[in-house]
Structure 1
Amino acid sequence: MVGLQWTSGAAVDWQRLGYVAGVSALVVILVTELIVLYVRGQAQRRKDLPPGPQPWPIVGNLPALAVAKMHQNLQQLAAAFGPVMYLRLGSVPCVVVSTAEVARALVRASDEHLSSRPKLLSFSILTEFRTMGTAPSPGKLWHSLRKFSSSELLSVNRVASYEGTRREELSNMMQVLLETSKRSEAVNLKFWLFQTAANLTTRMLVNKRIYYGNKANSYQEEVEKEFEQFLQDRLYYITAPVISDYVPWLRFFSETMQGWRSKMEAYRDTEMSLFGKILELEKHRKRAAKGEADASYIPDFVDVMMEAPVDNGKVLDDKFIIKQALEFFGAGVETSATTVEWAMAELVANPEIMKRAQEEVDTIAGKDRLVQESDIPNLPFLTAVMKETFRMHPSPPLGFPRESTAQIEALGYKIPARTRIIFNAYAIHRDPAVYENPDEFKPDRFLQQHRNVNHLAAFDSYELIPFGVGRRMCPGYNLGNIIVLLMLANLIHSYDWCVPDGGSVDPIDAEMTGPVLCLRNPLSLVPKQRLGVPSF
């Protein structure tokens, strides 16, 4: 009986085991089918996307951007995967554009859906998405700001009305160079350019200068020092590597434990306080009221912003006027100074090009006055030098990040909504299919085969996009172009330049400062006044 029971019990156990095994096999089959279906689905979706490198778990392709010169790294990846490349940045889909042909096709297919901004932590804290550069598109505020910018604030007539102011500020800063020249000392050209660009901007913005050069009657040295630190910090924070911008479930870790939120909020309070001192909005209101009866009164940018009904028919409140002014400074001063520094580095490294540019300026401006803005249209070679500088050394080589607002079908691909869009200007400008010997500084290319390239057109010349492309192109492109040409023309007209003993110029040695591509070592040169040419 015992043996029978054991035999019977064993039989029952085997039945149970068989049942369990059958169920397990069914589960494995179902799970395998689900995995196969998922993989097939992902593969099908991936078929609709541009090619790209295989992403890592969780972080995706973020390591491709976690390098010192990400524009060059992305250029190298594009050489392997193609001019339109798909990346996954954490959980954020991203498309990188690396040729003019792809940029043209993408923008013409659906620029209206390529013009929004991603919701980065820095944008939310520093601008609250209410400035011209960060407001989402489509959106009433952005469209109002853009229309106001093009028709009023940065219109051709408005920019032209400040020509006398720009001439005065340039003359002021040229005196600093004259004093240095008399002592045969080297000048930190990057810092001089920074001060000059800052003065040109502050005079137009709030009718003040920050730097007096010789310190006589200097405007609050305390503010001057704060101003320099402000811009360095802003460049850092605006593109800060906050991991939760790409992996949202790590928000507590990055914003709280790493302290990004508290750091940015503290910086925001500092910059708002500083620019509150500089803008003095109440004084602007009183001055504007008195100026209405004065025919010679020229409103500055802040005066114009204080009167513009751009926020649902209402004027911007003081906080957002300050934030918009901060954006103008951040976007224009450093990039203008850096661009002219690159141009001077290339000219010093190519003395035959420098001589030719000087001869052209001498012919047009003569030797009895500074170069004026009205001379610029008659300086085609100098303009070609600046275009070639923009091409080889775009200050923001990856532009400002964009985000798609709808699915886009272009180039045979389907790019989903909320995809990060990066136009790699560095790669686009060095495309060997467009530019012969793209790594050589050859301004003549813009007088010959590329003479019709217009870097100031939003929808025409995709092979040269230093100010961006499409409707989200930098609204200050006209003013920025004037400032860099004016500074460069007068530097080479009034002075010869040489490298100090023991020094050297390497226009290839670059590094990133926030989003801006700079010379690794600031350009230090000795100015020598040219015989018979005025210096201020």
Structure 2
Amino acid sequence: MARADVGLMEKLHNLWRQSTSSERSVVVLTSILLLGITLSYLYAQSLQRRKLPPGPRPWPIVGNFPSMSGDTPHRSLFKLANKYGGLMYLRFGSVPCIVVSTAEVARELFQTHDANFSSRPRRLVWRVLHNYDDNFKVMGSAPYGPYWRNLRKFFNEEMFSPKCLAAREGIRMEEIQHMSAILLDDAQQGRVVNLKRWLWGVTSNTITRIFCNRRFYGPDQNEQDREEFEQMTAGILSALGAFVISDYIPSLSFIARLQGWEKKFESVYALSTRISEKMFEVEKHRERVLKGRESGQIDMNYVPDFVDVFLTKPLEGGKLFPDEDIILFLKHMLNAGTDTSATMVEWTMAELIRKPDIMKRAQEELDAVVGSRQFVQESDFAHLPFLEAIVKEGFRVHPPSPLPIIRESLQPCEFRGYKLPAKTLLLNNIFAIHRDPAVYEDPDEFRPERFLDRPEINHLAHFSSFELIPFGVGRRMCPGSTLGHVMVMLMLGNLLFRFQWSMPEGLKVEDIDMSEAGGLTMWMKSPLCLVATPRTPLSKP
């Protein structure tokens, strides 16, 4: 024993000998009391843990929040799930959280407790992007309740019903043709194609035409308008993907202030509001609607855009949406409709370049179905089972939002024998569910054939298919899932049918960077750049 330790022990021993018997009794009783309290606390914690799912031991104060840090939290949680199972318990500060990582657990949970886990926790970014109005109105952030149900019904009936989707089929085809002319010109000039940018142009033009009858990409479009549009969408996406520690551990709000999150979100709000007011032109839409009513002349060929719908269709009780709500809804819906579909097709094209035999088989199927026509049409989809299998596999291996917006329970509940308190957070790790070894053999392998053997797996189902859920599941499933699927099929089908794809000169398929980047959406860290060659003599549409 070191000399200093010996000296300390001697001093303590002398103090003990010099103390009175009553003083010694106090010390002993105090020690016993502290030991008892400590043991009781540890025992209570042990009993509490028995009532909760397994999970990693939390850190003091921050809990398991470090598991959410880093560029790819879905992969970090996937590794933890391999150790603790498909239902895992985490704690963010004092806030409980469960993580679902297998199809079996997802099926059990959402068939029995979906309504209870359909609300949203309060987040700083939502408060700021709603201009500090705590009555969150956007569907993605609104708490579960009567308002959210009315809003969901409105979207399903007035915007994303089969009838509404069919009415806008011509818009989708026009934008494919418009952007295909640009791609054909690049191919004929031998230019390398930045596929991400082209895909972003198609999805953006399609969505903005559906929303407000405007186009931002193409040779005849205003460059400043396009740049502002990109600034707005990029800013909102970045803000929504941010992990702010004070959202989960309010006592550490000073850290969020030091990081400047609130000021960053305020800047995004100001920019997006300014740009979206100019972009959606709500007053001009209102004037056109009123003029049409007054004149009694209705253009039967005109398909109302979403601004028109908001201005003419009430939510509940005959009351129309105020202008500020219309702008709020549309600018948040833009991101879901543009970034996710473009990201998914880019990932899928990267996989196909690496597996030319799969690409060839898809092109042979397209040739047989589309024949001498120049473009793949939506009516062809029912006759393209292999293309659909490729799309499903793309969604499985590279879900655009591998860790979607977190949910929150409304009431205490019991699940699998575990007692979960109210306001328990829920994370659906879609990345992990899509790699469930109980469902998929060689889950990391890109193998579309697996869905030809299992056509019953339907990624557009709300409650009947839990093995493939790129658009979410249950009541909180993305309302635009069918539109997203159609856009992916249309873009991918025409890219494969109209062009042969290869690597730029001097590069090999092994040079493709398959690493991820992003936040709420995970895109390719390095944009996919390829050379396009027309497969048959093509003319500009």
TM-score, reference length from structure 2? 0.92
Residues 293-372 of structure 1: pairs in structure 2 closer than 5 A: 293-294=297-298, 295-310=300-315, 314-372=319-377
Kept after mapping to 1: 8 A contact 2:71/2:518: no
Q: How does 1:39-50 map to 2 (within 5 A)?
A: 39-50=42-53
Unaligned runs of 5+ in 2: 1-15
How far apart, in 1, do the equivalents of 2:77 and 2:201 lie?
33
Moved more, 451-460 or 357-366: 357-366
In structure 2, the residue matched to 1:181 is 187
Secondary structure at 1:497 match in 2: strand
- Which residue pairs with 1:154 in the alignment? 160
- Cα displacement string for residues 429-464 of structure 1 (whole angstroms, at most 9, x for unaligned residues): 11111111111111111111x221000001111000
Matched ranges for 1:71-82 at <5 A = 71-82=74-85
Distance change >3 Å, CA 234–CA 16, structure 1 → 2: same
Question: Pick from 132, 138, 142: which aligns with 1:131?
Answer: 138
Identify the residue that residue 103 of structure 2 maps to in structure 1.
Answer: 100
Note the 1:361-400 alignment, pairs <5 A: 361-400=366-405
Q: Which amino acid aligns with 2:477?
A: M
Partner residue in 1 for 2:506: 502
Q: Per the alignment, in what secondary structure is the counterpart of residue 114 of structure 2? A: helix
Aligned-pair CA distance for 1:29: 2.9
Q: Is structure 2 residue 526 aligned with structure 1 residue 521?
A: yes
- Alignment partner, residue 279 of structure 1: 280
How far apart are residue 364 of structure 1 and its match? 1.4
- What's the counterpart of residue 485 of structure 2? 481
Distance 2:429 2:191 in 1: 39
Q: Is 1:431 aligned to 2:432, yes or no? A: no
Q: Is this contact kept in 1: 2:374–2:498, CA < 8 A?
A: no
1:362 Cα deviation (Å)?
A: 1.4
| Counterpart for residue 5 of structure 1 | none
Q: CA deviation at 1:378?
A: 1.4
Deviations 1:475-513 (A, max 9, x none): 100110001100111111111111111234467722121
Instruction: Calculate the aligned-residue CA RMSD, in Å.
Output: 1.9
Deviations 1:313-334 (A, max 9, x none): 5322211211111111111211
Point out where structure 1 has 5 or more consecutive residues left out of the alignment: 1-12
Q: Matches of 1:388 and 1:254 in 2, distance apart?
A: 38
Give a deviation string over 1:117-142, Cα, whole Å, max 9, x none: 111101111135210111001x2221
Residue 207 of structure 2 corresponds to 201
- CA shift for structure 1 position 288: 2.0
Cα deviation, 1:391-437, whole Å, max 9, x if unaligned, reads 00001111221111112211221222111111111111111111111
Q: Is 1:192 the counterpart of 2:198 in the alignment?
A: yes
Letter in 2 for 1:224: R
Secondary structure, counterpart of 1:132 in structure 2: coil
Confirm whether residue 59 of structure 1 aligns to residue 62 of structure 2.
yes
| Residue-by-residue CA offset, 1:131-167 (whole Å, 9 max, x unaligned) | 0111001x22211111111122211111111011111
Question: Does the CA-based 8 Å contact 1:87-1:94 persist in structure 2?
Answer: yes
Q: CA deviation at 1:17?
A: 3.6
Q: Is 2:528 aligned against 1:531?
A: no
Moved more, 380-389 or 409-418: 409-418
> Which AA in structure 1 matches 2:192?
A
Aligned to 1:266: 267
Candidates 14, 27, 30, aligned match of 2:30: 27
Alpha carbons of structure 1 residues 508 and 179: separation in structure 2 relative to 1, 3 Å: closer
Secondary structure at the aligned position of 1:398 is classed as coil
**1:122 touches 1:239 (CA, 8 Å); kept in 2?**
no
- SS of the equivalent of 1:525 reads strand
1:6 alignment partner in structure 2: none
Deviation by residue 1:33-75 (Cα, 9 ceiling, x = unmatched) = 3332222222212111110011110111111111222111111
The residue matched to 1:73 in structure 2 has which SS? helix
The answer as to whether partners of 2:101 and 2:428 remain within 8 angstroms in 1 is yes
Measured in 2, the distance between the counterparts of 1:155 and 1:142 equals 18
Instruction: Verify: 1:231 aligned to 2:229, yes or no.
Output: no
8 Å CA contact 2:412, 2:422 repeated in 1: yes
Distance 1:209 1:32, change over 3 A: same
**Number of the residue aligned with 1:7:** none
- In the alignment, is the contact (CA less than 8 A) between 1:388 and 1:443 conserved in 2? yes
1:415 and 1:505 map into 2 onto residues whose CA distance is 48
- Separation of aligned partners in 1, 2:210 and 2:292: 16
- 2: CA distance, partners of 1:37 / 1:404: 30
Q: 1:28 to 1:309 in 2, by over 3 A?
A: farther
In 2, the alpha carbon distance for the partners of 1:185 and 1:198 equals: 22
Q: Secondary structure at the match of 2:99?
A: strand
The TM-score, its normalising length taken from structure 1, stands at: 0.93
User: Partners in 1 of 2:413 and 2:513 — Cα distance?
Assistant: 37
Measure, in 2, the Cα distance between the counterparts of 1:70 and 1:77: 11
Aligned counterpart for 1:490 among listed residues 494, 498, 504: 494
Aligned to 1:244: 246
Q: Report sequence identity in percent.
A: 46
CA distance in 2, matches of 1:368, 1:140: 48
CA distance in 1, matches of 2:270, 2:419: 42
Runs of 4+ residues deviating >6 angstroms: 13-16
Between 1:501-510 and 1:188-197, the stretch displaced more is: 501-510
- The answer to whether residue 88 in structure 2 is matched with residue 85 in structure 1 is yes
- Do the aligned residues in 2 keep the contact of 1:148 with 1:310 (CA within 8 Å)? yes
User: Which residue number in structure 1 is paired with residue 415 of structure 2?
Assistant: 410
